[in-house]
Chains A and B, each alone.
Chain A
Amino acid sequence: STNEPLINYLDMEYFGTISIGSPPQNFTVFFDTGSSNLWVPSVYCTSPACKTHPVFHPSQSSTYEEVGNRFSIHYGTGSLTGIIGADQVSVEGLTVEGQQFGESVTEPGQTFVNAEFDGILGLGYPSLAAGGVTPVFDNMMAQNLVDLPIFSVYLSSDPQGGSGSELTFGGYDPSHFSGSLNWIPVTKQGYWQIALDGIQVGDTVMFCSEGCQAIVDTGTSLVTGPSDKIKELQGAIGATPIDGEYAVNCATLNTMPNVAFLINGVSYALSPNAYILPDLVDGMQYCGSGFQGLDIPPPAGPLWILGDVFIRQFYAVFDRGNNQVGLAPTV
């Protein structure tokens, strides 16, 4: 089967290390709540992307088991195909036995050549898993590796490499947020999907006034929404197309409006400093918009995606036990 992970690998910034096999073979992955497969490049892969990343050697692992059925995952920019194997997967002292994972055989054109990650570890619900494999966190729960069926994500805004950012399995860390967590029911168990009550720009509810659906997605770095609405939003914050993407004049940041997401009766506001992504190009300051149009057709969409731009501001707890998401301002 195929699925449509909503991955904009262009903006991926937060990666961690996992190991697969015995002895362990290490890979840099990003942890993606918008997909449910674990895959890494394999020794069988001949694509350019596999020449620039470490590959998994099943013959070098004494705990490897061949499963053999094929899988394919489609991204916006290409597809990934491979075969499914099983081995032990370790993440910071947690070792999952017999984890089924994808060994990529072909990887999309140039898509992953430039990426600094080797593979992806999906943290979505099982219904999203290509090839019907059991996701890593489901195996962690089944093998009693975590005390609570919860994982949480803290993305630091620290300009020095976001130090302190962490994914926590088995609980959450109150030192990462202020106040108390607001719990929001998951409306559909695939992505981590929730209901929005509205989206306010400045003092006006401009979008989603009748309610809409959104997902909290660590696999998307920006905040995305239906392209017609995002185009309007870009205009409302004063962003204009520059060189193929939306940007603002950095001098206007303090006059720009907040953008707030109204969720379950609570307002989650993003200030311009939160949703504008500064960069330095040829010595010149560049201020890109953290909003991007992405049309997700029915039945999955339309969907707004609350990616890293949002998660950097709001600590996110993903509760599989109660099928709810907890949010609170990060400190």
Chain B
Amino acid sequence: AMHRVPLRKHQSVRKKLRAQGVLSDFWKSQNLDMVQFSESCRMDQ
């Protein structure tokens, strides 16, 4: 006897924010560096 729980797929928050053109602002607001730029910058400096 297995119990199946259907999972519904929704649009992700990332896609929503990208569609609104505010994703990069979101990264900044959360201090999230998704591309490790700041790390390399520090090394250059």
Contacts and interface: CB of A to CB of B under 8 A. Distances in A.
Interface of A: 9-16, 31, 76-77, 91-94, 110, 114-117, 145-147, 155-156, 161-163, 165-173, 221, 227-228, 230-231, 241, 243-246, 279, 281, 286, 292-293
A279 B7 contact: no
A41 B32 CA distance: 25
Contacts, number: 117
B8 A14 contact: yes
Contacts of A228: 36
Given A10-B14, A11-B14, A281-B19, A168 B24 contact: no
Nearest to A167: B5
Contact of A292 (B11, B16, B19, B34): B34
B10 interface: yes
From DSSP, what is the main secondary structure of chain B's interface residues?
Answer: mixed
Interface residues of B, number: 31
Interface of B: 1-19, 23-24, 27-30, 32, 34-37, 39
Contacts of B36: 227-228, 230-231, 293
B7 A14 contact: yes
A168 B18 contact: no
Nearest to A163: B9
11 contacts: A10-B14, A15-B10, A16-B7, A165-B6, A173-B2, A227-B36, A241-B35, A244-B27, A245-B23, A245-B27, A293-B36
Contacts of B32: 76-77
B2 A168 contact: yes
Contact of A243 (B1, B6, B12, B23): B23
Contacts of A231: 35-36
B44 to A, nearest CB: 15
Nearest to A8: B14
Contact of B7 (A115, A165, A230, A241): A165
Contact of A11 (B5, B6, B12): B12
A15 B2 contact: no
Contacts of A171: 2
B28 to A, nearest CB: 8
Given A168-B3, A168-B4, A227 B23 contact: no
A92 B3 contact: yes
A13 B11 contact: yes
A116 B10 contact: yes
Contacts of B30: 77
Nearest to A145: B3
A58 B37 CA distance: 47
Contacts of B19: 279, 281
Given A76-B32, A77-B32, A170 B2 contact: yes
A12 B12 contact: yes
